Copies of this chain bind each other. A is one copy, B any other.
């Protein structure tokens, strides 16, 4: 990943499903064209975060989704493959698949201890070292308490110092935590630190490496990053503000349903969430459309209306 210059914009495409709950590959391809062609994505994640709804899939379906993602990207940008799985052996199998597919990295959730109690630092280090021995690809440490462990500041720093861990994907919105970790991990060269939509500009200012997110957040993020790189900090802050209400106001539905609704609204349809989760109601969707028309995504609506 050395060739990746800061700041990075890592995008996790949403997973479109057909009526019979297979992956809708044409819709996936159109979406990937959007995130690479229109959003300046610097890396694509294949089946790496929960918002990609990959956890619903059986193993073969998940592998097919990874393959389809790599093919759709077609070498335009590097791909990072999610290998998180409760089974250690399956995680390694997914890493080997990723190597064969030409992936640039793998992403691995800091795991819960399967029986009661949080994992210790030595549990966590043993786990990442064991995976690191099995693959030559760099590992992205994925921090997402809930699905994964709630890793302390000290334990995160210890993991970041492992040679196999070269990137961190942090889901926390705790700016005190993230400020400290960017300074102790990214600025010291242990690993590159990536955060989320709401944290993007603050992370860039602190010296963080960027953010990862689903579309269409990435189109907003592209404007933030371009303004920041151009040193137009007022513009950067003005666009960052668009993440204050979106997706927060619709999060009672969950992130995947909200982002899918937004994509459908801007003319890059990706269908409904995997059942039993519900799409936004008509009213919620209308309110979302009204909000998105006030953002840098407004031009998508004109295009849609004109079509």
Contacts and interface: CB of A to CB of B under 8 A. Distances in A.
A37 interface: no
Interface stretch (A160-168, A173-181, A281-289): A173-181
A61, A174, A240, A244 interface centre (most CB from chain B within 10 Å): A244
A55 B244 contact: no
Report copies per complex.
Answer: 4
B251 A116 contact: yes
A177 to B, nearest CB: 7
B50 A207 contact: no
B202 A175 contact: yes
A291 to B, nearest CB: 11
Given A245-B180, A276-B126, A56 B254 contact: no
B147 A114 contact: yes
A93 B233 CA distance: 47
A115 to B, nearest CB: 4
A199 interface: yes
A205 interface: yes
Interface stretch (A26-34, A75-83, A84-92): A84-92
A147 B111 CA distance: 10
A173 B177 CA distance: 8
B179 A115 contact: no
A21 B243 CA distance: 47
A174 B89 CA distance: 36
Interface in A174-196: 174-177, 179-180, 182-184, 196
A297 interface: no
Given A180-B244, A275-B130, A254 B147 contact: no
A77 B241 CA distance: 31
Contacts of A241: 179, 183, 205-207
Contacts of A61: 87, 89
A114 B55 contact: yes
Interface of A: 21, 50-51, 53, 55-59, 61, 86-90, 93, 112-117, 122-123, 126-127, 130, 146-147, 153, 173-177, 179-180, 182-184, 196, 198-199, 201-202, 205-207, 231, 233-234, 237, 240-241, 243-245, 248-249, 251-252, 254-257, 274-278
A241 B208 CA distance: 11
A264 to B, nearest CB: 17
A90 B60 CA distance: 11
Contacts of A237: 205-206
A37 B227 CA distance: 37
A257 B117 CA distance: 12
Contacts of A117: 251-252, 254
B115 A244 contact: no
A243 B55 CA distance: 37
Most chain B CB within 10 A, of A113, A202, A256, A278, is at A202
